Structure 1
Amino acid sequence: MTKKLIILGATGSIGRQTLECVQKANRRVPGSFEVAGLSANRDFEGLMNLAEEYPEALLALGAPPPSAGGGGPLAGSSSSPTNHRDVSRRLSFVGGDAVTKLLDNCDADLVVNGIAGSPGLMASHASLRRGMSLALANKESVVMGYSLLASLAEARKIAIIPVDSEHAALFQLVRRCGAKSIRELCITASGGPFRDRPLADLSTISPAQAAAHPVWKMGRKISIDSATLANKGLELIEAVRLFGFSEKAVRVLIHPESLVHALVRTIDGSLYANLSKPDMRLPIDIALHWPEERESAFGKLDLAGKTMSFFDPDPSRFPMLRLAREALRQGESATIAYNASNEIAVGAFDEGRIRFTDIASVVADTLSADWSFPAGDLDSIFYHDDKARERARAFVAEIQC
């Protein structure tokens, strides 16, 4: 039976790798997947190229398409660099609400949410509201509004399947070991490109250096988050929310080889680990086929000749982990503030307005406010998000270079 997909953020890292998984699956078993909808934020040309490959898919573009010679939307003009024709037919939905309209007008069995940042929450909410299962690569959806999303999924009896490598690994381990027998979860981090850099040098790191991840192929913002370990802070929050464990029961270990993605410790003290090559196509492929299990099309890990090391993160090097735990202890509004202030800080760093080490300072200042307020619906979630961004912007203005 063909599974119909909507892929959000189709021109980004997760989207491209999802489409590669779809193509491989359809070559092995023709008709396994049908791409019913695709979205991009600003990458008009990338989306148009995908439209050539998937002519039946509905398309959504967050930003208006480029104009031809200043004369309005590009509509088959030979003067365009891409020479894409009949744009009005290809672009089904354009603008800030394009993704929501796509989800409201396109039927699918599974939505892959590869949107970057907090806008992904609205897409996750719309997917579940429509009764479509969700393969979730957008961390912010869980960090900002998991209780709301979980209620929707439970009411409609549909699945939220994590795509992050660590949470995909935990998803499998919890399913195999049984949640009742587990006492501790552990997620791993490569440590990023600066795990061995002298602490005194961290303030001189450039955006280009921070965006160069040593192991994973990822987008720019998430690569910077991996350098500060904000990415792991978000994943710590995700693990607590997705699997229902306390903050104290979730551990983070630095594992430079990135072969072990997660571990669980059971009631008898045993450790069970999920190991695979550091390739995002593996968890994506698992999510696409879930609940079925298929042989991987992306190779297997051979442990012969491999070495593995693990150590605790240095709190002075990675303060974003401590701040994530503080936010968890405060509650959902505080985790919203953690995410929002980090997005503002990373943007300011990427623009050269603050130093690498200032990112954590922006987040710490934001979390020092009172966040003991409920966030049970979209309006309250985005109210707290806006307030956190305002405070973070003000602090950036005070300290910027």
Structure 2
Amino acid sequence: MVHDSEKSILCRITDGLDLYFPPFLIVTGVVCNVLVVLVMRSVYFRSLSTSFYMIANALVDTFSLASLLTVDWLNLNYPSTIYRGEHSHYMCKFFHFFGWVSSDSGVLLTTAMTLERGLAITFPLKSSSWCTLKRAKRVTILVFIFVFLKDVNFLFTSDTYALNESDRLCYVYLDSENLKIFWKFVWPWIHNVFLLVSFTAIIISNIIIIRHIKISDRIRQEQQNCSIYKSNECLPETVKTKPASRKRQVATMLLVDSFTVIVCTLPFSIFTTIDSNTVLLDASSGERDWKRFISSMSFYLLYVNRCVNFYLYSWSGTRFREALLFVVCGCKRRRKPPRVVTISYTKGNSCSVHTCHNITQ
């Protein structure tokens, strides 16, 4: 046994990270994801199909934090509390399988949300028939079916480490040459291609969304300039504007969320790919400490991604904050009736602006 005085600084940092960081993630993550579910079920957002994806994602994240990360924390710090008997391999089969399913489903649900928003912007006339709650439920079911088939191998190849044999609880046993080839060469490519396709779809959809938001901001600014200066450079047709809608707020929240998914998911994928083809039997203690530190950091990034959505939505969505206040304390901020600005033209290319109040929300 290595005494604490003999441990390197990097090893002590990793020990502190393993001891204090998971409880913080578990408590804050569960609370924040429950709040996300309540807000998305409020009258502000529940009619949007995107809200259903966010609810499904939050529920998976909550269960993952409460079960998987809790057991992992107990194993790292109090390993004797974990059952390691004759049937413990069934526990690891579930943990390994559900861990990968929850991570992959989070990526796919975010991909589905961004694709839906990108298609709605590209084909606005068809968005009302495409972006429905019924379709969102069907897509969510297909997402879980796909990740089940992708990660089903963990139900057959997972087992439990003996006490003090490893920092981790579960491992993939390779008792045949075919399994070794699959795990070292086939599985990493399957997972990386899956991430590549998902991230590509997210990035392309985000580019479409960002372009749409910029165009909307430019049109809104031109309308404001026209109303203030009555310029001759007004738009050549009657245009109506209104304050930021729920769909615009959701699009902004989705942009931040999707980029966070990429940043938090990619490091663990890279580490897993490299680690599956690397053996450190003759490595120095310093190299092993670095590997353990990088493994912990990339692993916890996956769970950070399952905790930060609430903060991202609160930061990027005005309507989300209003709905949160309504859910938490039942208070609703009084808002002025939205104004509709109509720009019309008379002879001489002069511009007149008429403002009226819309009595409906």
TM > 0.5 fold call: no
**TM-score, normalization by structure 1:** 0.20
1 or 2, which has the higher helix percentage?
Answer: 2
1 or 2, which has the higher strand percentage?
Answer: 1
Q: Which gives a bigger RCO, structure 1 or 2 (Cα 8 Å, sep 6+)?
A: 2
| Structure with the greater alpha carbon radius of gyration | 2
**TM-score, normalization by structure 2:** 0.21
